[in-house]
């Protein structure tokens, strides 16, 4: 009995982590439409699974009946507060994010050769450190756009993903852009130092997800040397 359990622990210890691509960019830059397009078409010849953390938070907050992702009532209160204020989950609250991500992994038929597209998690260095227990980030895709372009993309709903969003006021957009610059943008250098490939894609007001995907697919195959 001890021998078998020890072998299982050893097997888990040497199993490679799922490979992930982190999508970074300010609110409205097109991360969700890009992630969905990659999940449909694949990227770099691989099947992709798009993990949209924000969408999962909104789904959890709106759920009726059994609590999703094994979240407690206190956890859901944190989720709803985060959605209402735009505050990021801090290090002490990461178990909430971990349960949501573990639920996602169970819901997809992940294969070792597949890729995970991370959208919305991690969003600061503390979360990046914790996510290192679940995935290996081999590449970072940065969607770069000016505040004026972001506001125009959101106004036109260029990506088709803003319908029903209650957090797209000018004040909320400004707050999110500030948080992105101060807390999330530094992840680019963090992952670059860890050896991840970094691809920056300048996004215009009308840049569509399929256009972004084609550019990344053409330029980014070097990242697969780690897969």
Q: SS3 sequence, 4-62?
A: HHHHHHHHHHHCCCCEEEEEECCCCCCHHHHHHHHHHHCECCECEEEEEHHHHHHHHHH
Q: Residue 102's pLDDT is what?
A: 93
Q: Residue 82's pLDDT is what?
A: 94
Question: In the chain, what are the domains?
Answer: 9-52+112-226 (3.40.50.300)
The number of beta carbons lying within 10 Å of the beta carbon of residue 178 is 12
The number of beta carbons lying within 10 Å of the beta carbon of residue 24 is 24
pLDDT by 10s per residue, the chain, length 227: 334 444 344 444 455 899 999 999 999 999 999 999 999 999 988 999 999 999 999 999 998 877 789 899 999 999 999 998 889 999 999 999 999 999 999 899 888 899 999 999 999 999 999 999 999 999 999 999 999 999 999 888 887 776 766 666 777 888 899 999 999 999 999 999 999 999 999 999 999 999 999 999 887 655 554 44
Distance separating alpha carbons of residues 211 and 175, to the nearest angstrom: 28
Phi then psi for 173, rounded to 5 degrees? Answer: -60, -45
The pTM of the full predicted model, rounded to 2 decimals, is 0.86
Query: 25, exposed or middle or buried, with CB in 10 Å at 0-12, 13-18, 19+?
Result: buried
Q: Residue 16's pLDDT is what?
A: 85
Distance separating alpha carbons of residues 160 and 162, to the nearest angstrom: 6
Q: Residue 12's pLDDT is what?
A: 46
Q: Residue 220's pLDDT is what?
A: 61
């Amino acid at each position: 009995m001890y021998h078998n359990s020890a072998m299982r622990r050893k097997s888990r210890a040497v199993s490679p982590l799922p490979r992930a691509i982190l999508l970074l960019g300010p609110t409205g830059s097109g991360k969700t439409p890009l992630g969905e397009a990659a999940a449909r078409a694949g990227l770099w010849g691989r099947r992709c699974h798009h993990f949209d953390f924000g969408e999962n938070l909104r789904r959890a907050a709106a759920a009726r009946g059994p609590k999703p992702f094994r979240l407690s009532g206190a956890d859901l209160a944190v989720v709803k507060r985060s959605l209402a204020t735009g505050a990021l989950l801090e290090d002490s609250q990461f178990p909430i994010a971990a349960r949501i991500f573990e639920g996602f992994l169970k819901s997809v038929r992940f294969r070792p050769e597949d890729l995970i597209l991370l959208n919305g998690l991690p969003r600061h260095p503390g979360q990046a450190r914790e996510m290192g227990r679940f995935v290996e980030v081999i590449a970072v895709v940065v969607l770069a756009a000016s505040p004026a372009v972001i506001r125009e993309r959101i106004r036109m709903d260029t990506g088709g993903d803003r319908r029903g969003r209650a957090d797209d006021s000018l004040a909320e957009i400004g707050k999110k852009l500030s948080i992105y610059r101060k807390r999330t943008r530094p992840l680019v250098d963090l992952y670059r130092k860890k050896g991840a490939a970094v691809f920056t894609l300048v996004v215009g007001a009308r840049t569509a997800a399929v256009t972004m995907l084609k550019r990344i697919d053409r330029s980014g195959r070097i990242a697969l040397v780690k897969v």
